[in-house]
Amino acid sequence: VNGKVVIPVIVNVLYKTAAENISDAQIQSQIDVLNKDFTATNSDFSSTPSEFAPVAANVGITFELVQIIRKSTTKTSWGTRDAMKKTKQGGLNPTSPTTNLNLWVCTIGGGILGYAQFPGGSSATDGVVIDSHYFGLSGTENYPYNLGRTATHEVGHWMNLRHIWGDASCGNDLVADTPVAKTSNFGVPVYPYVSTCLPAHNEMTMNYMDYTDDRGMCMFTNGQKSRMTALFVSGGARSAFGI
């Protein structure tokens, strides 16, 4: 893995309404966001506070749209139990999931923006689900989750990243260069956001693996990059991608 990591992406669109049948342009806009965010070429990367600039990473992974599959359905919402990933349940089975990142775009419901499967799970359900209201830059997207960062966050999970607060009070995200955080942060916290986890330090609320608004997040760290790239080398959980 050295600068040549390209992930082929299959986008599975499940729609009942015309609005849910998002355009090719909207899909490409999401791929473009992923490419920027994972190569530190996003326009807001430079808003990373100088305190964190030394650990802010160019992850060096890029994404290439290889196929869009569309299916008309009768479902109003799909939930979070993987029905959208199963042709027999009205969804779409993943296409070659050991060598392609499958994205499902549909209405999830329940206020869920997206969800991902971590490495090591069943290939039949491997991939990332994003609600069509929060996918890409144009069309049906909803502020403040309108900049495509739900996919950036979920692909982070798909590449083995934990939430920055470690899903526990002052928890461990298994990444050394992300500071400990008390819990998830929302909105756009003003820097410096002093942690209540001791010893006193500032939280990295602008990390993609927090829960802030899309415009409040702009970076991964070198430690997160190491966890992600480790998947693709020989012996890694996603080494079948052959990169």
Residue 175 touches which member of Ca ion, ligand ARG, none, C-beta under 5-8 Å by kind? Ca ion
Which distant-in-sequence residues (6+ apart) come within 8 Å of 58 by Cβ? 39, 40, 225
Give the dihedral sign, CA 121/122/127/131.
negative
State how far the Cα of 85 lies from the Cα of 83, in Å rounded to an integer. Answer: 5
The verdict on 191 binding ligand ARG (CB under 6 A) reads: no
Does residue number 114 form part of the binding site for ligand ARG (CB under 6 A)? yes
144 vs 223, beta carbon nearer ligand ARG: 144
Q: Which is nearer to Ca ion, 146 or 178 (CB)?
A: 178
Binding partner of 22, given Ca ion, ligand ARG, none, CB within 5-8 angstroms per partner class: none
Please identify the residue of the shown chain whose CB is closest to the bound ligand ARG: 150
Q: How far apart are CA 63 and CA 6, in angstroms?
A: 5
Please identify, using beta-carbon distances, which residue of 37 and 214 lies nearer to ligand ARG: 214
Pick 206 or 217: Cβ nearer ligand ARG: 217
The radius of gyration of the chain from alpha carbons, rounded to an integer in Å, stands at: 17
CB of 216 to ligand ARG, least distance (A): 7
Q: From the list 61, 113, 175, 206, which residue makes contact with Ca ion (rule: CB under 5 A)?
A: 175
229 binds, among Ca ion, ligand ARG, none (CB under 5 to 8 A by kind): none
Residue 213 touches which of ligand ARG, Ca ion, none (CB < 5 to 8 A by kind)? ligand ARG
Concerning whether 154 is annotated as a catalytic residue, the answer is yes
- Strand pairing partners for 25? none
**Please, are residues 175 and 148 in contact by the beta-carbon 8 Å criterion?**
no
Classified as helix, coil or strand, 209 is: coil
The one of ligand ARG, Ca ion, none whose footprint includes residue 131, by CB under 5 to 8 A per kind, is none
Q: HSE on the CB side for 155, CA within 13 Å?
A: 28
* x/- map, 134-173, Ca ion, by CB under 5 A: ---------------------------------------x
Alpha-carbon distance 32 to 135, whole Å?
A: 12
Distances (CA, A) of 201 to 126, 167, 174, 178: 37, 19, 18, 11
Closest approach, Cβ 55 to Ca ion, in A, equals 10
Per CB under 5 A, 181 contacts Ca ion: no
Measured in Å, how far apart are the chain's first and last C-alpha atoms?
6
Which active-site residues does the annotation give?
Answer: 154
- In the complex, the residues that contact ligand ARG under the rule CB under 6 A are 113-115, 145, 149-150, 153-154, 211-214, 217
